[in-house]
Amino acid sequence: MKALFIGGTGTISSAITRQLSEQGCELYLLNRGSRSESLPANVNIIQADINDEDKVGQLIQDMTFDVVADFIAFHPAHLERDYRLFAGKTKQFMFISSASAYQKPLSDYRITEGTPLANPYWEYSRNKIACEDYLLKQYRDNGFPITIVRPSHTYDERSIPLGVHGSNGSWQVAKRMLENKPVIIHGDGTSLWTMTHNSDFAKGFIGLMGNVHAIGESVQITSDESLTWNQIYEAIADALGVQLRAVHVSSQFLAACSKQDHRGGLIGDKANTVVFDNSKLKRLVPGFTASVRFDQGIKQTIANILANPALQKEDPEFDVWCDKVIHALDTALASIIE
């Protein structure tokens, strides 16, 4: 199989890249080359900015592919560019959408590919929906061979998956745990969530590549494991070897008092109970099973981060914000008790 990935080094795509290289796929990555030093030796790099359409067009002028996958498309304009570049050059075009595009609030916590798409809380999700709409029109009107893939919360060895964190990533929450500081969990921590290790996602994704039955289809790829947010944070604390000191805070309150887009990320996503039905994926990719349990995967992630100081990016502003939120709750409680 000959495949081209636009991106290929991110949380989701890096595991797919590794697994395909082990399987002997003729794989090309089109990116700016900022992470190319960590790539397998048999992966081919096309170094360019995908937004430089003329240059990319010249570089791929004489090339065709079995599969082209765009991991970094977030707006319909990105897909319009991809269509101009790859129409007639690939047997399958795969777009990475998002499970956050599913309706909020959900009418049924069990999510299938037939769950309506609508998210009034998060612009990111609405843009993904618009991207899907554009591609479906190209499929219907022009036969563009698309497959839409919807991941949910996928994690790797480089970052701890969390509900609430700052703009510098997740390390500051782990640092608070290690310093025996309280950490914020949105809501009461009992809503269900799904974490998927990127190596499991990769297995499902590769099974859809070159799969004639996946053309024109939308497919979600997640683990079947459901966890409460309390269980997720307990597993993280356990991997760090510390006791969890949790402070539960209303998602609405967090969204109202944060400079970050917690309204989109919480109200439009993580505050909702989600349980994914992966029956469609398993029909298309017989034998698919997500095998990395979260408590096992997060131990690998924590061990890697603790061993690599470069991944320990501090966030003093977020740390101060956490203390302010917790102090405000303590003050409000004290005023009521008095």
pLDDT score at 8: 86
Q: Where are the domains of the chain?
A: 2-155+198-221, 171-194+225-275+292-337
- The pLDDT tens digits for 182-239 are 999 999 999 999 999 999 999 999 999 999 999 999 999 999 999 999 999 999 999 9
pLDDT score at 258: 82
- The pLDDT tens digits for 134-175 are 999 999 999 999 999 999 999 999 999 999 999 999 999 999
Q: What is the CATH number of domain 171-194+225-275+292-337?
A: 3.90.25.10
pLDDT at 262 over 90: no
Q: What is the 3-class SS of the chain, one letter each residue?
A: CEEEEECCCCHHHHHHHHHHHHCCCEEEEEECCCCHHHCCCCCEEEECCCCCHHHHHHHCCCCCECEEEECCCCCHHHHHHHHHHHCCCECCEEEECCHHHECCCCCCCEECCCCCECCCCCHHHHHHHHHHHHHHHHHHHHCCCEEEEEECEEECCCCCCCCCCECCECHHHHHHHHCCCCEEEECCCCCEECEEEHHHHHHHHHHHCCCHHHCCEEEEECCCCCEEHHHHHHHHHHHHCCCCCEEEECHHHHHHHCCCCHHHHHHHHHCCCCEECCHHHHHHCCCCCCCCCHHHHHHHHHHHHHHCHHHCCCCHHHHHHHHHHHHHHHHHHHHHHC
pLDDT score at 201: 98
- The pLDDT tens digits for 103-130 are 998 888 899 999 999 999 999 999 999 9
CATH fold for domain 2-155+198-221: Rossmann fold (3.40.50)
pLDDT band at residue 37 using 50, 70 and 90 as cut-offs: low
